[in-house]
């Protein structure tokens, strides 16, 4: 039985990665909206060992042949990357975590601007409370459970939450939304549900169930910001590339996600910032707003 399992896992992992590259929405709809698919998801697919195994495959040279189909499927502009030739990448993860040229993502120069830390689809919710209905209709979001810290949760009551969903097509490195001094990342272990809107619409609340890393950023003029990197289905790992206690400028790199869709959550204290007007307070009832790293998402409020 064990020998059969050893053969099954790598075959399953390769099949799943190919499925994600070929039609990820169809796969997600199957495992979240289909009864048998949901049982398979809860009992096996969201377990950490599966995401770690997929991560290992995506790190290996065996995954290199998936790079060109991946670029084609998601219409990725390879010319933005520092290595613009797909043959220069050693694995799918090497490509997935690619760095971009310095001019690919201009940083908003307005000193009062808070920028998007990543590419993705942005959703914003103001006046976050102790128990706010967030993205999942009829299911309350417990910020204390999300942060696993009662005192820290109180710090952000009445403030603003910004969620950025990074699809497999997006650039997967994330950056500082403004200048400040970051803390060491606090790890919270969990499972690996998808963070795609399909999962939320199926009644799943991955923000409080998934593995996540919490970083606080102390700033001079907009209080303390919490940045939470949330792992997701097939994400092999969340990596930090900054040094805690060191000052960083807006737009400096913080870290990256390995293969898979993933999410960043920003929490701002009450009264410290105002969401940029053209963002228009999106939520999961609509399609959200497409955003690029470096674009303005909020303005620091004057003291």
Per-residue pLDDT tens listing for the chain (303 residues): 444 444 455 555 555 554 555 456 777 788 888 888 788 788 877 777 777 777 788 888 988 988 998 898 889 999 999 999 999 999 999 999 999 999 999 999 999 999 999 999 998 888 887 667 676 666 667 788 899 998 999 999 999 999 998 988 899 999 999 999 999 999 999 888 888 778 888 888 888 888 899 999 999 999 999 999 998 877 668 899 999 999 999 999 999 998 776 889 999 999 999 998 777 555 555 567 889 999 999 999 986
Q: What value, to the nearest 5°, has the Cα angle with vertex 144 and ends 127 and 244? A: 95
Name the one residue in this structure whose structure tokens are 């603003």. Answer: 160
Q: For the stretch 218-243, what's the b/e string if a residue is b when 16 or more beta carbons lie within 10 angstroms of its beta carbon? A: ebeebbbbbbbbbbbbbbbbbebebe
Q: Is the dihedral of CA 253, 254, 260, 262 positive or negative?
A: negative
> Quick count: other Cβ atoms within 10 Å of Cβ 252?
15
Q: Can you tell me which residue has the tokens 């993933």?
A: 262
Given 24, 63, 116, 262, which residue is catalytic?
Answer: 262
Q: Which of 63, 91, 116, 175 is catalytic?
A: 175
Please pick, among 24, 51, 116, 119, the residue that the annotation labels catalytic. Answer: 119
Work out the angle between the directed axes of helices 67-74 and 2-33 (0-180°, nearest 10). 10
Provide the angle, in degrees to the nearest 10, between the axes of the packed helices 2-33 and 48-59. 100
pLDDT of residue 195: 82
Residue-level pLDDT at 285: 52
| 116 classed as catalytic | no
For the chain, the domains span 2-96, 113-300
Strand ranges (E), the chain = 113-115, 120-125, 131-133, 140-142, 160-166, 173-175, 181-182, 186-188, 212-218, 224-230, 238-240, 253-257, 262-268, 273-275, 289-291, 296-300
Known catalytic membership, residue 221:
no
Give me the half-sphere count of Cα atoms (radius 13 Å) on the Cβ side of residue 192: 24
Per DSSP, 41 falls in state I
Q: How many angstroms separate the CA atoms of 217 and 206, rounded?
A: 24
Residue 247 annotated to the active site: no
């Amino acid at each position: 039985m064990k020998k059969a399992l050893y053969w099954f896992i790598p075959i399953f992992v390769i099949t799943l990665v190919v499925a994600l590259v070929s039609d990820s929405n169809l796969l997600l709809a199957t495992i979240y909206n289909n009864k048998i698919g949901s049982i398979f998801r809860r009992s096996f697919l969201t377990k950490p060992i599966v995401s770690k195994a997929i991560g290992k495959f995506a790190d290996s040279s065996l995954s290199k042949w998936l790079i060109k189909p991946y670029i084609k499927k998601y219409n990725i502009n390879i010319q933005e990357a520092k290595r613009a030739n797909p043959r220069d990448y050693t694995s799918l993860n090497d490509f997935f975590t690619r760095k971009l040229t310095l001019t690919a993502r201009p940083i908003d120069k307005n000193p009062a601007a808070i920028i998007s830390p990543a590419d993705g689809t942005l959703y914003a919710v103001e006046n976050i409370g102790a128990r706010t209905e967030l993205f999942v209709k009829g299911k309350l979001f417990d910020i204390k459970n999300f942060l696993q810290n009662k005192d820290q949760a109180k710090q952000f009551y009445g403030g603003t939450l910004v969620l950025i969903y990074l699809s497999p097509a997006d650039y997967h490195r994330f950056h500082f939304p403004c200048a400040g001094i970051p803390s060491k990342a606090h790890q919270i272990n969990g499972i690996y549900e998808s963070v795609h809107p399909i999962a939320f619409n199926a009644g799943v609340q991955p923000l409080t169930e998934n593995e996540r890393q919490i970083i606080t950023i102390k700033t001079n003029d907009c209080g303390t910001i919490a940045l939470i990197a949330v792992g997701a289905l097939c994400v092999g790992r969340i990596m930090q590339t900054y040094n805690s206690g060191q000052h960083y400028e807006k737009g400096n790199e913080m870290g990256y996600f390995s293969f898979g869709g993933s999410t960043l959550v920003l929490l701002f204290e009450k009264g410290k910032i105002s969401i940029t007007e053209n963002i228009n307070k999106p939520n999961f009832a609509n399609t959200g707003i497409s955003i690029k790293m470096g674009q303005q998402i909020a303005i620091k409020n004057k003291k």
